[in-house]
Structure 1
Amino acid sequence: MDFLRSARVVSEAAGSGVVDWDRAAAAAKESTDPGSIALTSAEREGYATDVRDANARLREVAGIDFDVPASIEVQNRHHWIDASAGTFRRVMAPIEATASGVPWSPVRDLSRIANTGSMAFALGFLARNVLGQYDPLLLADEPDADHGLYFVHPNIVRVASMLDVETPRFRRWIAFHEVTHAAEFGAAPWLPEYLESRVERGVDGLSSGGFDPAAFAELQTAMTAVEGYAELLMDRAFDGEYADLRRKLDARRGGGGPVQRLARRLLGLGLKRRQYERGAAFFSHVADARGIEAASVVWDSPDFLPTDDEIENPAAWITRVDP
């Protein structure tokens, strides 16, 4: 890792956009050790087995039909940065388009450097902490492109050691979690378009100098459902004891040193933790009252997504939807 070289790359940000994406990714990689993905044959087979077993177990428990993404990658941190820079770039495209019509000025160049540095920081921090990711390819140029399932192997090995758990067991836990997201999007073919429309409305509003609170509220509520349902399936489907994993991971989500806590706050990761907690409580109540298949009804239609008020009052959702 070379933070000085990373800063130098950021200072060279150029182009006509709000962010110099190539330099943002390059700077993030300069400040981030890629880690090793020199897997043994047992490790490689372990990932494949975990995904396959999670697929079968989740179908059995949830009673929903879905396909695991064709693209399953074991990545290092630099691979993750390259993949995720493309995602951020797609989301920012409306703002980039608006900014392209603004006349040149020295302030604009300074703003581009600052934005590129902020994006490099975000990509680097996340690359050092993300364990696995299901990528539904929101806002992709090719709507029918294969979704992706990624595992950041160096982070899985490092965090398993930090938590004092066996790496194969921890890897399996992460595989189950990410396959639950594949299950959600597979069971709800309308979900990517629903999320895309809210992202586009929100970003379009920002790019025109406004703000669409309804779009962001709907996006936040939908993501609370996505994260909460995944937590429910993890609790009901994982084929082993997990209480210690849950406790240690919850502590990790809120732990770390002052810099890490500040970074999580700036990147909105505290909000993501709140999504886990609220969503998990909602779906646990529904599953306890009506069964896990009743909870899965949420993916039948966007009309069945809980409102923000219903997340706090699951009985109201049950009364409205009557699963």
Structure 2
Amino acid sequence: MVSPENPSEPQDDGSDDEFQRLLKQLLSGDSEGLAKAAGLPIDQNAIASIIASIQQAAATPPGQVDWSQARERAQQVAHAAEVVLTDDDRTRASNAFDIARLWLSEATAFEPVSTGRVMSRTEWARETLPFWQQLCEPVAGSVAEALLEALRSNLPEEMRASLGQAVQVMRAMATTVFVVQLGQVVGQLAAETVSANEIGIPAMPDNEPALLPQNIHEFSQGLEVPVEEITIFLATRELAHVALFRHAPWLTSELTSAITSYARGIQIDVSRIESLGGEIDPSDLDSLRGAVQRGELIPPRTDDQNAALARIELLLALIEGWVDTVTGAAVRRLPKGAAVAEAVTRRRAIGGPAEHAFGTLIGLEFRPRQLRKAAALWSKVTDALGSADRDAIWQHPDLLPTTDELDAPEAFISRARGDEQTDFDRDLARLLEGDLPDSPKPDDDSEGDAPKQG
């Protein structure tokens, strides 16, 4: 507040002390509780940082979310165990992209992109955060309002009546907990993912391909496969992903639209907090953070969400199945390509802790459940139609296999060939050939029904 006597001199009205007092009361007197709830280290700098971010968030207009804390936290976590990329790392990745590009040109009709980046963990976290933010934004507001209501309803009556402007501070606290958790998850993903598109959807701006050599090196431990071979294999998968999404531009919007539609349907119900009884204390943000991490605040899926989830899972399975099929054909020259492929499959099936944590934030894990069926289908389509006709199927979503056709590849191949005709197609063909009788005219019907005259 500015003093009227001296406009340039701030007036000490005790608002900072009141703010600190409110925080401590909301946290049961534990000034470290908010830092713990947000996933930050317990030290004075962390507490000062989180309080500053809450004050900044409190100034944000209602309905908007300040994501700066997520960005800072993501980069902090990603950088924690980061090693400097060497010239060997960059050369190996660059060579791998060159070889992958050449081999892919023989395995798919889609022309691979001519570029490929080598990234550190911090770079990946910073550049992909806008994508994760887009997916989580519909949920952030719901979580904030639910936690706000839980905190407000559990305050003493006399304090609740005098909250006033503190409501915005409480909403900012709840939002900050979610935002920092998102940053934590993205930072952990940066320490695990081996490429920009490993999760199966374009997370990088402009769908740019990239490899993370530090994570590839960790992935290679125990495989007894030269890291050069592993890098070539992963570069091939990365370029295949990018080629598919760039040659089927509708695919990105179709997939992200289904995901955001699913996330937008999440409405956190405060009664679910109360129904957990003694498991969490709504006045303790640390226990609420645990409930968010475990996904306990996310209600059962709606019918619309189930439909969106089915679409997401089918698309992810078809994408990953196609990438597996094309990659397998492209890397057949690698002596130990099969061993790397098996390691990738095993890694994908198990999933990482960050992936599971992200799943609890929006109730969705990015793992195709019908991948083996999809890969088998694309393999059979390749044998029956060839790679050019196989890839042409991606021109429009209506041409893709359905969930039922994953269990019946032959039926899909027949449809892709045009062997399968609808009743309309058959009737139209017969009509053009003159095999169908003419439709009776209305006048003929009426005359036929009229009684004959003597």
TM-score range, shorter-chain basis?
Answer: 0.7 to 0.9
Q: SS where residue 219 of structure 1 aligns?
A: helix
2:130 paired residue number = 86
Partner residue of 2:95 out of 42, 45, 49: 49
Q: State the aligned residue count.
A: 313
2:224 paired residue number = 164
1:30 paired residue number = 76
Letter in 2 for 1:175: A
Letter in 1 for 2:123: H
Structure 2 CA distance, aligned partners of 1:54 and 1:286? 23
Asked if the contact 1:28/1:120 (under 8 Å) is kept, the reply is: yes
1:187 paired residue number = 247
1:232 paired residue number = 325
1:316 paired residue number = 411
Letter in 1 for 2:106: E
Structure 1 CA distance, aligned partners of 2:258 and 2:114? 24
Structure 1 CA distance, aligned partners of 2:125 and 2:377? 33
Task: Give the fraction of aligned pairs with identical amino acids, expressed as a percent.
Answer: 23
**Does the alignment pair 1:155 with 2:201?**
no
Letter in 1 for 2:178: N
Structure 2 CA distance, aligned partners of 1:120 and 1:205? 22
Displacement of 1:58: 1.4
Structure 1 CA distance, aligned partners of 2:254 and 2:77? 35
Structure 1 CA distance, aligned partners of 2:358 and 2:174? 23
Asked if the contact 2:182/2:358 (under 8 Å) is kept, the reply is: no
Structure 2 CA distance, aligned partners of 1:55 and 1:3? 44
1:66 paired residue number = 111
Displacement of 1:227: 1.0
User: Residues 314, 156 of structure 1: CA spacing in aligned structure 2 closer, same or farther, 3 A cutoff?
Assistant: same
Q: TM-score scaled by structure 2?
A: 0.59
**Does the alignment pair 1:247 with 2:294?**
no
Per-residue deviation, residues 45-101 of structure 1 (Å, max 9, x unmatched): 332222222222212222x1334165x321111111111211112334455688999
User: Residues 224, 36 of structure 1: CA spacing in aligned structure 2 closer, same or farther, 3 A cutoff?
Assistant: same
Displacement of 1:130: 0.1
Q: SS where residue 240 of structure 1 aligns?
A: coil
Structure 2 CA distance, aligned partners of 1:269 and 1:99? 16
User: Residues 205, 260 of structure 1: CA spacing in aligned structure 2 closer, same or farther, 3 A cutoff?
Assistant: closer
Letter in 1 for 2:248: A
Asked if the contact 2:314/2:368 (under 8 Å) is kept, the reply is: no
Q: SS where residue 132 of structure 1 aligns?
A: coil
1:21 paired residue number = 67
Displacement of 1:131: 0.1
Per-residue deviation, residues 15-42 of structure 1 (Å, max 9, x unmatched): 24676422223223333435224322x4
Letter in 2 for 1:121: Q
Structure 2 CA distance, aligned partners of 1:18 and 1:313? 47
Structure 2 CA distance, aligned partners of 1:262 and 1:193? 24
Asked if the contact 2:105/2:112 (under 8 Å) is kept, the reply is: no
Asked if the contact 2:112/2:240 (under 8 Å) is kept, the reply is: no
User: Residues 60, 262 of structure 1: CA spacing in aligned structure 2 closer, same or farther, 3 A cutoff?
Assistant: closer
Q: Say what the alpha-carbon RMSD is for the aligned residues.
A: 3.8
Letter in 1 for 2:126: D
User: Residues 283, 256 of structure 1: CA spacing in aligned structure 2 closer, same or farther, 3 A cutoff?
Assistant: closer
**Does the alignment pair 1:130 with 2:177?**
no
Letter in 2 for 1:286: V
Q: SS where residue 83 of structure 2 aligns?
A: coil
Structure 1 CA distance, aligned partners of 2:206 and 2:356? 35
Per-residue deviation, residues 89-136 of structure 1 (Å, max 9, x unmatched): 233445568899999456533431331243133212211110002497
1:112 paired residue number = 175
Displacement of 1:276: 3.6
Asked if the contact 2:248/2:395 (under 8 Å) is kept, the reply is: yes
Q: Which structure is larger by alpha-carbon Rg, 1 or 2? A: 2
Letter in 1 for 2:414: T
